Structure formats: structure tokens, C-alpha cells
Chain A
Amino acid sequence: MRAEEPAGTAGAEAVLDMRGVGVALGQGRRRRTVLHDVTLRIEPGRTMGLIGSSGSGKTTAGRIALGLLRPDTGTVTVSGMPYSRFRREHAGKVQAVLQSPQWSFNPRRRLGDSITEPLGVVARTPHGPGRIDREARRELCLTMLRQVGLDPAHAGRYPHELSGGQRQRAAIARALITGPEFVVFDEAVSALDVAVQQKVLRLIRQLQETHGFGALFISHDLAATRIASDRIAVMLAGEIVEEGSPADVLDNPGHPYTRRLLETL
């Protein structure tokens, strides 16, 4: 894979640059094209909302953006760097908040250990700050917990002692502790009830202002996506059928599918 594009042609370098990405999954006769010619560009400090119904390829797009899956065609760069065989080169720069509050943390580890886990990786990478001692880690962990609105005492607790909303906040703390440039939220608030959702969404916006990360917000929930995103892309059957500002896409949908998606809610 090559990174032939000269970085930063249009102002700041994009945190995520996916071009013409296509991928097929499955073996033999069951092989299906899941994504077809998907192009996404996320500017630093901005959030791209990705909406679509189940099976539209949102999650696959997220997996490719995270480098968990290699595309068959097209290129993916994060802050100008393509994903190599070794994820450690991107360690700490890319993080994610995933769907399930139930399994977002290892049930047998204390939250503090889980939240600081990414630090251990960053410390040992070439671009990292070198060894981070125990006290510094603890300090960072407590700072992050406060920033996401949790009691620092939660660091010593086990996941099952927290509510779903608290666990997703803790997951955000873990994702942001390395100061990432790009964060993927994959249905990060979908399992939470509406009131908690609102709070977590506001928290994400607020943290984005202080930390300045670019984000991909994957959701099937239009209301949540509108709050979280600066731009919204609509996916249908593995293709992006519409992209624009939330107002354009949600209030004035151009594609018939977007209209249908809006009507169903």
C-alpha cells in the first residue's frame, strides 16, 4: 500500500482519508461485496456521522477506518499514514469506543488498569514518550475520569459495579487517554437510554473541543448522529449515497433512501 498523496493539499491534513475503498467478505459462493467505492474524509477536530440501516456496511467501514480489516481496493490513511502490517505504528493515535457497555471492559480487571492499558502500548513505540511510570499513569487516569464526569474512585472498581452509561464514559476515558488524533464511535451510545445518551453525546462534543480529535460516529440513530456530527454520510448497501451537513442531509434529504430512513423514525 502506498501513501502517494502529498499531505495537506486542502488546508490541514485529514485525520482519516478513505478513497475508493471496496471490500468483499465471506468465502467462495457466499462472498459478498460489503463496501463499494467508499470515500470518506474527516478533518481534524471534526466529526463525520455515518448512518444507515443494519447491514448497510457502516460497521465494516468503521473496521477499515480502524485498520482492523484490509480493504480489497482503495487506500486508507490516518493522519497521512497508511496502515501497515504492524498496528503499533498507529498506537495511541487511533482509538475507538465500541457498542456494548456490557463487554466494553474486561470484567476481571479494575477499571483503572483497563483505562491505562493503551498507555502501556504508547510508551513502547518509537514516537511515544518513553516509559510512563506508575504514578504518572495513575494521575492521567484520574484526570481522564474527571474529564468524562466520573468519580476518580471508580478507578479501583470493577466494571460490573458501574452502570451502562458510566461504563461508556469510562470507555471514552480509555479512548482519549493517549490523546488520539482519530476516534471511531461505533454505536457508542445506542445501548444507552435516551437521557443518558444526551449526556454522553454532549460530553463527546465537549471533549472534542478540548482534545481536538477527529471522529467517525457510526450510528443508526439519526437524532444522536445529528447532535454528534459536523457532517453526515448516509450509507446504503455498501455505498455512500449522500453526504453533507446535518441540516442538509436530515432536513432536506436529496436521496430517496435518506427520506425513507427519516420517515421510519
Chain B
Amino acid sequence: MRRLDLAVLRRRPGASRDPLMVAAGIVLGLLCLLALVAALVPFAGSPTEISGPRLSPPSWEYPLGTDSLGRSLLPRLLEGIGVTLVVSATAVLITAVLSTAIGIVAGYAGGWLRETVMRVVDVLYAFPAIILAILVAAVLGAGRVATVSAIVLVTVPLMVRMIAAQAATVAHRDFVTSARISGVRLPVILYRHILSGVGGTLAVQGTYALSVGILVEGGLSFLGQGVQLPQSSLGLLVQEGAVYMVAAPWLLFAPAAVLVASILSITVIGDTLRDRLEPREVRSLA
């Protein structure tokens, strides 16, 4: 059988047409790699050891300078990147699982169930993220668990909403109706047809949630409610740096730059994913 070969039908070859996406991927990949390598082999020195003069500017020996206790900033920053990414990624993973389960069921069922879920989500969504996060930290006590829970609570509403909306769209497509007519059981329909239909939304919302997660972790740690000393995180380092902003600006600049770079690159990746995975669609009756 002859196969059509039109430019429109051909898949876009790789990511080569999105230099921005490639750049973002490289930045993020490099950050992850650095953090991972530093965790395995402390090539930049120990993050907790007090080894040098206090508030020393960047030098050959201390590439990013030293902090107010005389600890080298570079290993602390590397540890911070790792902690922030792990905390955010864990939270986003939990969010993704929760939101997918809730969103798929609510979106497919529709009716009062979806309305109820949506109203609860609206209430959560109405709180400013950081207030909600502080509330969680206050209840659970500052630390990693609180940070992860806070990120989950902050990112779940949007994700549930988007996935429920997409699931509702997919639920009305003819192939789902056909499966229902054939007598396919509900859990199978949800898994086989709806889940695969919300995959794109999940990927896009997941990346957005990751950037929100990093931001919330930063905010919480900045307020002293997140990751606790002596462990470092990006937010914690920014907070420390802010204290010596005038005397030692490098202490603020480096972690803030990394924070911005990671959030920016994740957002760029999310935007590109959205353009690719969520094409405009034509709807039809079910």
C-alpha cells in the first residue's frame, strides 16, 4: 500500500528546530549532572567544612567565594541544587500520581463528582501558594517533609483541574464510547484510553509543577520553614546571601542565578512540550 509522504504528515525531526528547548535542556541537564556528581564525589570540597576566611570573594581556591562562617560556597551550592531538585521532584511525582487519579476519575465521571472535586480544588487554588505552604510548614513543623507536602498541596489544584478537563474531553471521543458499547470495564477504559489521552497534559503540567515546586521550596527555605541547616538548598542559600548582599554580593548572586536558570529552563521545556503535545483539536459528538 502506498504511504503518503507529505511534509505536513512527517513527524518533526527531533528537537533540532527548537534551539531554546535544547538550550534549556542542556542547562537543566548540566545542573542535575553537577549536583549528582558532587553528591557522589565531593570534587569541590565538603559543603559543611569551615576551611577558609569568612566572606572571601571568589578566588582560585574558592571559585564562588566563602560564606559568613568560612565555608566554600561552591560545594554548598552543589548540595543545594541537589536538595532542591530532589525535594521538588519528589513532590511533583506525588502530585502527578494524586492528580492523575483524581483528575481522570472526576473528568470521566463528570456530573456532581466533577463539580465537587472542582470546587474543592478552587478553594485550594484561591490561596496564595506561599501562604498555603507556610500553613503546612506550621502544622507539620519545618523540614523536608513539610516542604514536600507544601509543594504537593500547592501544585495539586492546577494539575487536577487540567487533567480533569482533558479527561472529560477524551471521555467524549468516539473510541471511548465504542469501548463502553463493547462492554469494556470502567477501570480498563480509564487505564487504557483516558490515561493515555492525558499523558501530554501530565507531562506539560508536571514541568510547570516542577518549577513551582522549586519556587515554593525557595520561598519556604527563605522564610526558614523549609530545608533546615546545616543542609543547604537554593532557597536557604539565597536567604543567607541576602543578609550579606552589600558586603558579599556573590553569596546572593550565585544561588539566585541558579534558581532563575533552573526555573526558566524548566518553564521553557514545559512551553515547548505544550506546543508539541497539546495540539489544537477538532471535537465531535459522542
Contacts and interface: CB of A to CB of B under 8 A. Distances in A.
Interface residues of A, number: 37
B178 A153 contact: no
Contacts of B3: 161
Interface in B271-286: 282, 284-286
A231 interface: no
A109 B194 CA distance: 12
A100 B179 contact: no
**Interface residues of B, dominant DSSP:** helix
Contacts of B183: 87-88, 90-92, 118, 121-122, 125
A46 interface: no
Interface residues of B, number: 23
B54 interface: no
A174 interface: yes
Contact of A99 (B182, B199, B285): B285
A104 B176 CA distance: 8
Contact of B180 (A68, A114, A171, A178): A68
Contacts, number: 76
B181 A104 contact: no
A98 B177 contact: yes
Contact of A151 (B1, B181, B192, B284): B1
B175 A114 contact: yes
A156 B48 CA distance: 58
Interface in A1-28: none
B284 A103 contact: yes
Interface in A155-193: 161, 171, 174-175, 178
B245 interface: no
A120 B185 CA distance: 11
B196 interface: yes
A87 B180 contact: yes
A79 interface: no
Nearest to A150: B1
B247 interface: no
A129 to B, nearest CB: 15
Given A91-B183, A105-B175, A125-B183, A59 B284 contact: no
9 contacts: A90-B183, A100-B284, A102-B284, A103-B173, A103-B284, A104-B175, A117-B179, A117-B184, A121-B183
Interface of A: 59, 66-68, 87-88, 90-92, 94-96, 98-100, 102-106, 108-109, 114, 117-118, 120-122, 125, 151, 153-154, 161, 171, 174-175, 178
**Interface pairs A-B: 7 shortest CB-CB:** A91-B183, A100-B284, A118-B182, A103-B173, A98-B174, A121-B183, A103-B174
Interface of B: 1, 3, 173-175, 177-185, 192-193, 196-197, 199, 282, 284-286
